[in-house]
Amino acid sequence: MSDALRIALVGNPNCGKTSLFNHLTGTRQKVGNYAGVTVERKVGQFSLPSARAVRVLDLPGTYSLNATSPDEAITRDVVHGKIAEEGDQDAFLCVVDATNLKLHLGLVLEMIELGRPILLVLNMMDEARRRGMQINTQKLSQRLGIPVVETVAVRNAGIENLMGALDVETFRTPNTELSDVKISGSNHEKIAQILKDVVVFVDHEDKRSDFLDKIFLHPVFGLISLAVMMFIIFQAVFAGAAPFMDGIEAAFGWLGETVGEHIAHPLLNSLVVDGIIAGAGGVVVFLPQILILFFFILVLEESGYLPRAAFLLDKLMFKAGLSGRAFIPLLSSFACAVPGIMATRSISDPRDRLTTILVAPLMTCSARLPVYALLISAFIPAKMVWGVFNLQGLVLFALYMAGIVSALIVATVLKFFQKDKSQHALLMELPSYRFPDVKSVWIGLLDRAKIFLKRVGGIIFALSVLLWFLCTFPQAPEGAVGPAIDYSFAGMLGHVMQPIFAPLGFNWQICIALIPAMAAREVVVAALGTVYALSAADDDAVAQGLSTLISSGDLAWSLATGLSLLVWFIYAPHCLATLATVKRETGSFKTVTLMTIYLFGLAYLMSFLTYQIASHYFG
């Protein structure tokens, strides 16, 4: 790739830049972070018709090169060539929303003033035509002095024209001499003159968006529709994934039996079957649920609904000490708290940003799904309520709502400790509604699957093997009457911890599983499977499945214990990656310590109350 053409995509948020990036690169893209910061770095590759290789960089969205956030600072520094790892770009593709040229051309003019090599990509042309807008792209090119290409990224239209333009070397040098009418004045005056010359508005109204906004932004119907959408998502996560989970569980069960038959050495057999296969299988089985959740989040993002949900919830969230801008980071935290906390960089007010960071871990991330699914399937019957709703889905919805309500309560409490009591206005662009880009959704799901499986193949695999070792050694002495695991390092540690967690209904096996779960929440499922598989009294744990053993009573778990453990994972900060991200984003160990203490304190208190109340009513 040394002689590859190096280009970067620049544009405002919601201009379709990432969809264009996905169509150009497909799955040939890598995601990482810039050195020293947590801003995402997305790079991909593709080939031009001439067979020349192209390296394309998707820069964070920005409204101006006058950066006000870490994301915008990265874009500014790449444009100025100040980031060594990126070097100088051969060209910049300025992607603009054709329906909103008045706003988006401001960044283009800033790029032109810098003398950077530019190709203007006029995206969403289908939407512009639907609204009755007629844009003379040839005249626009003349006025700006740069080449212009029309595209519709979500439909792959115009991509061939864009490829052809990239093959022409002359496009890379802005040529202001092309302008047959010199443009003067401020950028606002220049944009007004350009629009007057090149755009004819037949119909100013976006009737489809106006109609939908009357529903989704209505103070009553909007909140109802948002609640209904979230409810449907949680129902689908549980009900829709069941057949796929059964298939994965059966496949790993078959794999364990098949491999176990060919390993004669008992210790090696236990390591491979009970430690590796059972540990990995116990987590991979929940991949369908995680992908279903991400599917809905990506669809809502692609459709243009998420900014409206933030706008809708602004007043409600402000009363709790948050701003409407906190909605998108908090929604992202349902997938994973790490990108959710990183997304708080879009919140300009330091007070609002810190509060959002502190409550983001209370959103029910996808790593909690394996725990919830295990316990719900074991203790909650799979029956329909009122002939329509899945009871297990209702419980899952209740767990998500518990996290949301808790976050609002914590934010309200934090509000009283804030010195700044002023209200901060929410200013944001509401993009047009559009059909989700199928390719972008697919690539997003593929990325999430890769990340999840990488965790299984990395940290979860390593922890499963380590836990197997701790549960196996030292081995029971001759004549021992109890389970062999009682004499192991893990067994001894579990028995030491058990009195501390006894008021919560946790036995020593659960206490053992909570330790590796500090690295990643979903490890607790693999850890429980390993612990019980290595218990002499529970040799059939792998074959029967952990949830079957729990629900059958073979493991002596009461309903109160199951509910208590569910509540524990609503609050407990079992994720070192989240705590590390908070440290990087805030630069403060004090904030990390505060978060850890209050979350563990809430987890212990709420689990204690749950266990005591459930024990009283359910025995």
Three-state SS letters, 132-144 = CEEECHHHHHHHH
State the Cα–Cα distance between residues 484 and 135, nearest whole angstrom. 77
Kindly tell me if the per-residue pLDDT of 95 is higher than 90.
Answer: yes
What confidence tier does 15 reach under pLDDT thresholds 50, 70, 90? Answer: confident
Kindly tell me if the per-residue pLDDT of 120 is higher than 50.
Answer: yes
DSSP letter at 484 equals G
What confidence tier does 608 reach under pLDDT thresholds 50, 70, 90? Answer: very high
Q: Which residue has the tokens 């053409």?
A: 5
State the Cα–Cα distance between residues 47 and 52, nearest whole angstrom. 6
DSSP letter at 275 equals I
State the Cα–Cα distance between residues 185 and 489, nearest whole angstrom. 76
What is the rounded average pLDDT of the residues 114-136? 86
pTM over 0.85: no
- Are 441 and 319 in contact by the 8 Å Cβ rule? The answer is no
Contacts of 54 (CB under 8 A, 6+ apart): 4, 5, 6, 7, 24, 45, 46, 47, 48, 166
Q: Which residue has the tokens 């909605």?
A: 327
Q: How far is CA 359 from CA 2, 431, 569, in A?
A: 45, 27, 14
Q: Tell me the DSSP string of 412-428.
A: HHHHTT-S---------
End-to-end CA distance of the chain: 67
Spatial CA neighbour of 374 closest among 551, 506, 544: 551
- Across the chain, mean pLDDT equals 80
Strand, coil or helix: what is 371? helix
Q: Which of 33-47, 505-519, 594-608 has the lowest mean pLDDT?
A: 33-47
> How many angstroms from the chain centroid is the CA of residue 605?
29
Residues composing the chain? 619
Kindly tell me if the per-residue pLDDT of 547 is higher than 50.
Answer: yes
Q: What is the pLDDT of residue 370?
A: 78
What is the rounded average pLDDT of the residues 77-100? 86
Kindly tell me if the per-residue pLDDT of 535 is higher than 70.
Answer: no
Question: When comparing pLDDT for 128 and 318, which is higher?
Answer: 128
Q: What is the pLDDT of residue 580?
A: 80
Q: How far is CA 590 from CA 70, 223, 594, in A?
A: 22, 36, 6
Question: When comparing pLDDT for 425 and 93, which is higher?
Answer: 93
Q: Which of 6-20, 55-69, 304-318 has the lowest mean pLDDT?
A: 304-318
* % of the chain exceeding 90 in pLDDT: 14
Q: Which of 37-46, 106-115, 367-376, 389-398 has the lowest mean pLDDT?
A: 37-46
C-alpha radius of gyration, the chain, whole number: 27
Buried (b) or exposed (e) across 542-553, using 16+ Cβ within 10 A?
A: beebbbebbbee
Q: Which of 17-21, 22-26, 172-176, 457-461 has the lowest mean pLDDT?
A: 172-176
Kindly tell me if the per-residue pLDDT of 403 is higher than 60.
Answer: yes
